[in-house]
Amino acid sequence: MEAQGHKMDEIVFEQDNERAIQMETNGQISAGQKSRHINIRYFWMNDQTKALEIDVTHCPTLSMLADFFTKPLNGSLFRKFRDVIL
C-alpha cells in the first residue's frame, strides 16, 4: 500500500476463526492435538505477524465483506454486501 502512495499506520488482518487467530499469533504453541497434522512450514503467518507487526483481529462471519466475492449469499446478507460495494 505504501508503494501505491497510501500511508499505513497499522496493518490489520481480520479473521473469522478464533482458533486460527491463536495459531497465527502464537504459532506452534497453540497447535493442539487436533492440529498436529499441520506442518511447521505453515506457521509462516506467525513469523510475518511478528516481523511486520500485523494485528490479527476477530471479525464475525456475518461481517466478512470478502464473502460477497467468494460465496453464494442469500437474502438480506447479499443485499447488505451489495449495498456496501455499490
What does the mean pLDDT of the chain come to?
81
Q: What's the pLDDT score for residue 70?
A: 85
Ordered DSSP codes for 64-86 = -TTHHHHS---HHHHHHHHHHH-
Name the E strands within 1-86. 11-15, 54-58
Question: DSSP assignment, residue 40?
Answer: G
Question: DSSP assignment, residue 13?
Answer: E
Residue 17 has pLDDT above 80, yes or no: yes
Cell of 18: 478464533
Q: What's the pLDDT score for residue 12?
A: 87
Span 28-57, pLDDT tens digits:
666 666 666 666 666 777 788 888 888 888
Q: What's the pLDDT score for residue 56?
A: 86
